[in-house]
Amino acid sequence: MIKYIPLNQNILQAALKELDSAKCLLLFPTRKSKQEAQKLYQPDWDFSKHKFLTMDEWKDEIFHSKLPILKEEKRTLMFYKALTKENKNFFRIKTYFQSIELANNFFNFWEEITEEMISEDDINEILFSKNTANDWQLNTFQQLLQIKEQYYELLQKEQFSDTILLREINDLQFELNFDKIIIVNQFYFTEREKTILHKLDEKVLVYLQVTPEFYNEEELAFKKDFDAGVLQSVIKQKIKVITSLEQFQMIGDLLSTIDLQQRNTIIDFKFNSRSYASFLSREHYSISNSLPFSGTGLFRFFQTLQDLLHSIVWEGTPFLLSLQELLNATLSDDFLEIFEEDKNKHEQIRTFLFKCIDNDIQYLDLEYFDNRGTKFKVVFEKIFNLIIEVRKIDSIASLIEFIENHINVEKLTERENNKTDILKVFYELLSDFASIEQIGLITNWKNIFPHNISANLWQLFLDYMKPKQIKFTLGNQSVNRVQITSLQDTRNLHFENVYILNAIEGILPAAKHTQFLFSEKQRQNLSLKTYEDIKLRDKYYFYRLLATSNKVTIFTRTNLEENIEVSSFIEELKLFDLINEVELPKTDLYQQLFNSLLVTNDHSLPNQNIISADFFSIPFDKSDLKNNELNLSFYNWEKLKKDSFTFYLEFIANLNKRDPILSLDFSNKLIGTISHSVFTMIWERLIEVYH
């Protein structure tokens, strides 16, 4: 049974009114809409056993397994174990890390195929078609089939499971402990979901927020002709649209428009990755309080160790370390503090390495420090000894033991530890990482990393950390903080004041991208989601948001030089006379920003009248000016005119700017030294022969 409600009504409230039986299951498209429904229902809860789940959570309950289900890195490692030499050669894979992209494509591909219940015969029919097939597609599909069989056999042998294996079961048997299932505004149903719902037909109620003319009840799908005409009867006032030339101006227009005393919501796409995100105050805006683990000092320290590991050159004993990587490491005070607590010596250590560069040294070993008796030998000894310990790692257990015995995690995290949960996140991920060996997934790492196990295990550990997030505690916050969310998370929610940013083509709707294996035409023939389906979905979410919000302001951009144009959805709204284009006066946000950087302080400028005239004079040695003349090349003369201080430092004091990037080529000085040595050797031999 399908129930339709108007676009401008609160669908969560309407769905909750259906809870009339002893036990109902409510299914939502997103976790956010599920949580909002739970919040609305909580005051009226009568101790009934209703359950709130997302569609994916419900499917996980149906397709359960008694065996451990592999996910993320564990899944990828098992995938790599399943590859034969033929598979690796076909996909040009030489290492585990080169297989990660293929593994992601493999799992996404088979998850979609099993979810849409597409048979192998259907795919072969499409790929054998002369009009649509290419040999590479057919060969690739045959390889994917072969890998899937090998992967399933390996799962069975080692007593693990996978979601794609579970959802391939066509004869689905499960027990439903609910009197009614209420599905709240699910835009798209996969073939698997349709099959489950048809099996429970009498108990299912689908709530949809659309008019019946735009919905195909037989296919449980929106019709392709869904357009902005649906908004004409539900939108009370025209939607305000403001056009800017670039992002910073757009933020200026937003700040001049928004009323922080009201309940506001900003809809943006990848807000945290935008350059302007750092200009908004967390006191007034609900900017994410999460940070990537890869941005922490602890991760950077581990990454530096990895760079040093990869730079090792074995030319007998002892080994050589790249001077470039050593310099990169010592440029970080956080790294140096572990080996030398006296910060005053840090610059001296760096100066020493720069002198090595001046002497055309590319690699260093501990004998170099022994022979020269440098006072920094102890520091570099500690670094080299730590690298030696890292190279002993041959398993995850030994990696964890190394961290416990040689890495002061508390010291490396003391800066973040006061305001974040970094230690909790780190030890949780360390425990999860250790489980790879504990569950028996990998017993011999040589099968995964035939060469250089320590460096590869360390890289695997870094990759394991990268997606993790740490959370920091926030200070004082405004009661009416502006909420920031994405279009996907607005599904089924109701808003008061909405400000939509970056409504441009390529973002709304999203840009078209190449799909794995199948073309758009082939996907359409197989009844898989196409770009047009995704575009229709985004259009529905966008128009529903406009209809369910009391007040909407859209910010778009246009720039011919950068090929940025207004969203086609806005152009469609124009056709139905639903927008009001507003031109705001130009903001002085740039000027305000620069002024804030030049803000005055308590320091007063010295009185120029009491500064002696020689203060601005650069001292010089008369012997530098032979015959009272200063002979300059044109380049030096330009330098002197442009900046006399820089000229003095570079050409008189010989204090050149240090370049932290080593040249991999021979310097003129080194070529000259080699040439001189060769000629000396030749002359010595000639003299020997002569005598």
2-63+170-222 shares its CATH topology with 230-289+476-589: yes
Pick the CATH number of 230-289+476-589 from 3.40.50.300, 2.40.50.140, 3.90.1150.10, 3.30.420.40: 3.40.50.300
> What is the model's pLDDT at position 176?
77
> What is the model's pLDDT at position 673?
78
Region 383-398: mean pLDDT is 93
Q: Does 5 score more than 60 pLDDT?
A: yes
* DSSP string across 252-317: HHHHHH--TTS-EEEE-SSGGGSGGGGGS-TTTB----EEEGGGSHHHHHHHHHHHHHHT-B-SSS
Highest mean pLDDT among 334-338, 428-432, 681-685: 428-432
Closest CA to 506 of 563, 422, 583, 430: 563
> What is the model's pLDDT at position 531?
95
Region 409-417: mean pLDDT is 90
84 contacts: CB under 8 Å, gap ≥ 6: 146, 150
Side chain identity, residue 128: F
Mean of pLDDT over the chain: 88
Cβ contacts of 294-298, under 8 Å, gap ≥ 24: 294/465, 294/466, 296/413, 296/416, 296/422, 296/470, 297/334, 297/412, 297/413, 297/415, 297/416, 298/409, 298/412, 298/413, 298/416, 298/422, 298/426
Estimate the crossing angle of helix 568-575 against helix 531-548, to 10 degrees. Answer: 60
End-to-end CA distance of the chain: 111
**pLDDT (tens digit, 9 = 90+) per residue, 602-658?**
666 656 566 676 666 666 777 777 777 878 888 788 888 888 888 888 777 777 777
Q: Does 441 score more than 90 pLDDT?
A: yes
Strands 469-471 and 290-292: antiparallel
Region 576-599: mean pLDDT is 78
Take residue 472 and report the two structure tokens written for it. 């920091």
Residues 538, 656: Cα–Cα separation, whole Å:
56
More confident position, 593 or 469: 469
Where along the chain do its domains lie?
A: 2-63+170-222, 72-166, 230-289+476-589, 608-652
Q: Does 277 score more than 80 pLDDT?
A: yes
pLDDT band, residue 319 (cuts 50/70/90): confident
Highest mean pLDDT among 8-22, 157-171, 185-199: 185-199
Residues 13, 490: Cα–Cα separation, whole Å:
15
Highest mean pLDDT among 74-83, 127-136, 261-270, 472-481: 74-83
**pLDDT (tens digit, 9 = 90+) per residue, 195-240?**
989 888 888 999 999 999 999 999 999 999 999 999 999 998 899 9
SS3 549: strand
Residues 164, 167: Cα–Cα separation, whole Å:
5
Residues 399, 402: Cα–Cα separation, whole Å:
5
Using a pLDDT cut of 70, give the percent of the chain over it. Answer: 91
The answer to whether 217 touches 13, Cβ cutoff 8 Å, is: no
Take residue 16 and report the two structure tokens written for it. 């909750």
Closest CA to 557 of 192, 343, 252, 297: 252
Pick the CATH number of 2-63+170-222 from 1.10.3470, 3.40.50, 2.60.40, 1.20.120: 3.40.50
**pLDDT (tens digit, 9 = 90+) per residue, 127-182?**
887 555 558 899 999 999 999 999 999 999 999 999 998 887 665 666 778 889 99
Residue whose structure tokens are 């402990």 = 177
* DSSP string across 416-434: HHTTB-HHHHHHHHHHHHH
Residues 650, 680: Cα–Cα separation, whole Å:
33
